[in-house]
Chain A
Amino acid sequence: MLSLKHFYRSLASGGIRPPANKAETLRSRIMPTPVPEQLLLPLQQHQGMAADVCVQVGDQVRKYQLLASSDKASCAPIHAPTSGKILSIDTEIDLYNTGHRQICISLRCDGQDEALELDGDCVEDHRSLSREQLLARIESAGLCGMGGAGFPVAQKLAAGRKSGIEKLLINAAECEPYISCDEALIRERANDVVRGAEILRDASEANDAVIAIESDKSDAIAALRAALVDSELKLELVSPRYPVGEERQLLYNAMGIKLSRGDLPVDAGILVFNAGTAAAVCQAVMETRPCISRIVSVSGAPLRTPKNFEVLIGTPVAHLLALCGIDHGQHRRTIIGGSLMGKYLADASYPICKTSNSVIATSEEEFPGTEQEQTELACIRCGYCADACPENLLPQQLLVYSKAEQFERASNHGLADCIECGACAFVCPSKIPLVQYYRSAKESIAWEQDRRESGKQWQERFQFWQYRHKKNAESKKDRKLVTATDTDSTQSEFSRQQAREEIAAAVARVKQKRARKKD
């Protein structure tokens, strides 16, 4: 049951209750996927930098072997998910058709799954390790956030160490439709999640750690309660509303802390990790196992048996769809992520990354209007969007300003605070693609700002040039003035005369020389 406090907070933070569509994938247990023939490993699977390849084409690699790494903090290393041969290290893909191309390592799997001996001892209790050891294990495992943007875990912990951390929040809310990987994980491996949370708490030296989950996930809550019996961690149930799992929304709903859009939780002394990340941290620290797989929900109407899979990183999405018995006649497009904030995958042969939590195969019946253009009707200012907006914005006003390109007014109304969760577009009875309008307005604002800034640069340069020019002219005038005053003095008169004499002498010398040559 939701406490009164949490109920009030949920009322105060808007949101929507879309059909969850999670029951299909939660019907069966998490299934390990058979190793596919080939894996494609992007060198950059998260925000930050791409890793540098440390193998060569033709190399035989073993499971857990390091394939790419970097000494930069914003980069998580990449390990071989299984044994096989490196086919190429320069395959280029554009995962979401955004024009942002990624370089991938292509690995032909041999099916032997020969593992490298893991260095480092398995431990029973993470408290036997020092904080440095914990951080080192987490860093070398190549972990990055498994829910959202995929910030490297080690980098987050390092940032927290710098600013000091008081609270830790484990995000198990998973509010977006179709995604059930965390819920499945908690149902089956709640101990890993709790232990991972404890490790993260100790690694960040937080005093307080909270696991937040939506109150309607009863199986997962029961599993967590059982796992939390001798733990100091607290469990907070939040109202099941989308987007309660968004970082700042969850901070408010679970802890009552409001951060504005620009603030990072780490600056407020809080670290937020996803439940899946916590479980991966547990494996990385206890068994020194690198991050080579993750749990992915695969769902959608064209699939006969939607499921949660334990998937090797780099597995082609098409492989998963085939495992679920896909009906190609119905299948239209493929979404990575949920139905409200996900992205269209450019090609089904593209791989699962460390951040890919869900795959949705869409059909025309289930996702009408995503294929052909939807007739967009006039905004009747019904205000449903304003009620749904978790950021308390007025989406209908933002729409007017965005459409009219009144960007300054749009900014005044908090366009930059929009998290693009899509709640407004979901409820809009006139089927207006609000988020698209906001994105385009944001881009225009960014572009305009860019232009203004570069314009400012040019202006500065020009002004500096003018200044220099003026200075030059002035100094020239000064010099002339100086020479003018010099000519007045007898000394300079004398020197001029002297110069004339010298010149005359030189001319005479030259003439002499020429005359001599003629001779």
Chain B
Amino acid sequence: MKRVDHAEASSRFIAAKEHVDFHDQRLWDLRQKRDREAALIPEWEDLRSLASAIKEHALSRLADYLEEFERNATANGMTVHWARDAAEHNQIVHDILAAHGARTLVKSKSMLTDECDMRPFLESRGIEIIETDLGERIQQLDDEPPSHIVVPAVHKLRGDVARVFGRTIGTDPANSDVPYLAESQRRHTRPYYLRAGAGMTGANFAVAETGSFVVCTNEGNADLSANLPKLHIASIGIEKVIPRVEDVGVFVRLLSRSALGSPITQLTSHFRKPRPGTELHVILTDNGRSERLGMADFWYSLKCIRCGACLNTCPVYRRSGGLSYGSTYSGPIGVIIDPAFNLRKYSSLPFASTLNGSCTNVCPVKINIHEQIYRWRQLIAERNQLPMVKKEAMKMAGKVLSSPKLYRAAVQAANAGLEYLPRFMIYNPLNAWGRQREVPKAGRQSFREWYLANRGGK
């Protein structure tokens, strides 16, 4: 499998300055809204600790809670399926659709179905799939994966959307008025809800004690997808199970405040039983989660409630765009989840971080994201997955930094070099650092020279 080169991929994004500036600002705006909301809740930090503890407890007894969920959901009249991996998940969905003769599927946003690459699998078998979340629909029509787990098309400007809709759903490609574009999607999607054979949702939480699941959305599309067709399928990762109904309150208070800086999503929907005369199928999907649960350094990432706060705050994510990570999960959470799926393919991702720790500070379930990023770097170096240039540079840096004599010689040489070297010696392919930056002007003196001159004799 081809290794994702994050730096190379992000250079395409960075080339469009207007896009990068907007992206950076829009996500920082979400981060600031999150801060304002958090400050309004005196017990905010208590809620984070509670959420973290509830998740850690649930994961430490996950097998029992999965069985309890299954028992209660089945008693409620749902059908519970289990999928080891993406292939089995997709096959189950197809089998259910085929058994009902459903040819059209309206679905709300689900990172899990993206992770499983479900759409191409079903489409190649003649199923028509309508993504109903506006951002996800834009991405589907543009044949691109989502670039953000909460706002899938955040990397696009209104003109981009106007062109995509103009090409695909017949709007005026020159009209980039946002209300016009949103209204066009509403009208385009509505007939599908009325005639689709099946609806599909993901789930934010599954509650063991009631055998129910919770879906948090804003657009109304999930509730339309679930409440109109006679068949509702929900894809749920096994790590989503929590013990009690009262736990949901803790997470709902944190989720949208962390994600979008709004007190709650416009809709928080709870599904416990199929409507009379309809079927409700749940697919509990593993796809690597049970393996990750056994990784002492990394199982904490399974606490994630997919709010996206770590993406919004990350300086690297904001300036490189979600698509450059080459995976369903991007940003800091992607950086620690993706290598567990495929270490070789995603070995460059843990280096897409400055290790500033902001992600950890905003995480509503207190995942130690930046520590895990560092741990992945160590593992990647141990397993020999570092690219040659980085490895050689690090080897050299290691030698130089561990010897005071070599270090001083290097500082002097560098200072002299920066002044006199021609540009191509600094800005060349072997020096990744110089690629997008100007080297700052070095001071006249090194700290050591200053120290010797000023404090040396004392």
**A and B co-occur in one complex:** no
Query: Chain A interface (Cβ within 8 Å of chain B)?
Result: none
Query: Chain B interface (Cβ within 8 Å of chain A)?
Result: none
